[in-house]
Amino acid sequence: MSTRSLLPGVASGLALVLDEPLSMWGGLDPGTGAIIDARHPQLSEVVTGRVLVMPGGRGSSSSSSVLAEAIRLGTSPAAIVLSIPDDIVLVGAIVAEELYGITCPVVVVDRALFDRLKTGMELEVTETGVFGI
């Protein structure tokens, strides 16, 4: 199983596994950390402090700014685990780290590991992997 750090860091928390990609722009309230996309299967779930596991992002380029704002406000996930790389998610996390000195690690895992991650699992994200704890 492989893990690739897009933005290295260490974080832990309960997993929130999304059934579908999430656009942060219009999909996440950075003030509360709640998923507000009315069509998303995890509507109303709160990402704050969770390890957010999702297949990928779902655009828009403004999603980066929403993620960065959530990180600044302390309402973001503790880490983000993807099954495919997503530049928009990554840019938001990098900008927040540069501007606010707060790291929200972003990693990509292979499909076999991604499929084993379930909501409610306690996960630790490191530069070398995603581990159940």
Active site residues: 60
Q: Alpha-carbon distance 15 to 62, whole Å?
A: 25
Q: Alpha-carbon distance 41 to 17, whole Å?
A: 11
Using a 10 angstrom Cβ sphere, with 0-12 exposed, 13-18 middle and 19 or more buried, the burial of residue 58 is buried
Q: Are the C-beta atoms of 74 and 46 separated by less than 8 Å? A: no
CA distances (Å), origin 52, targets 23, 45, 73: 13, 11, 17
